[in-house]
Amino acid sequence: MSINNFGRDIKALRTKRKIGSRELSRLIGKAETYISQLERRLIKKPDYDTAYDIVKHLGFTESGIDEFLYNFYQIKSPEMIEAESEQAAIWEETRADEIEKIWIQRHEGIDNAPNYQANNKSTNNMVNFESQWMMELVGKLERKNEEIKEELSFNIDKNAQTFENVITNLHSLLTSMRKDRGNFNFFVGLFENDSSLLNEESKDKILKTLKEEIEKMHSK
């Protein structure tokens, strides 16, 4: 399941428990139209406290709500977010220590080289400057890469049959990029913009076009 299914699933649970949308909206302290808008996906992502209250008033045991919200909808509690931030800080510190050791070793090697020019301070300053922002960028991308791995693992675990073709085709595209510049450019072009901002009509249009192009290729 994903966050996009939260409203749909809430409607199913609410209907089963015979609770009106306006009644549930009042129970969680929101405007009477809130639940209706959530179920129709006009509200994309409720905050944790709101999601918690909704699930609680639908009869879930409070001790299991945090796990349910995260496992099924990736809605994280403040405690979980704080714990992840602490882990990220530890990782960054460890990574920084490792990079610093490598950097020191590299410069010691340069300093000891016979042809090293000690007066080239401006060049060294530029290298240090570029190294700092590059390290920060690499660290940021690596953290996002870990999140991608987690999300893929979650969906594989929950939707293995559906995700079989997804993972197979993604693997095919990624492993071809080193040899095929066209596939590299296609992949970059496909993800250089945030497609999650598109509405459902636009997403359907893109998927339809992609499917038609692939069908043309197979028919040749």
In a domain, 54, yes or no: yes
The type of residue at 76 is K
Q: What pLDDT is attached to residue 14?
A: 92
For 117, the domain range is 78-158
Q: What pLDDT is attached to residue 38?
A: 93
**Could you state, in chain order, the average pLDDT of each consecutive group of 10 residues for the chain (220 residues)?**
74 93 95 93 88 93 88 86 82 76 66 51 47 72 84 80 83 86 86 83 87 79
**Pair 60, 68: CB distance under 8 Å:** yes
In a domain, 165, yes or no: no
In a domain, 166, yes or no: no
Number of domains the chain is built from: 3
In a domain, 88, yes or no: yes
Instruction: Tell me how many degrees the CA angle 57-62-66 measures, rounded to the nearest 5.
Output: 105
Q: What pLDDT is attached to residue 116?
A: 46
- Domain boundary residue among 73, 100, 121? 73
**Pair 10, 54: CB distance under 8 Å:** yes
Q: What pLDDT is attached to residue 1?
A: 45
In a domain, 167, yes or no: no
Q: Tally the C-alpha atoms within 13 A of residue 203's C-alpha that lie toward its C-beta.
A: 7
Q: What pLDDT is attached to residue 3?
A: 54
Does one domain contain both 86 and 122? yes
- Helices (H), strands (E): how many in the chain? 10, 0
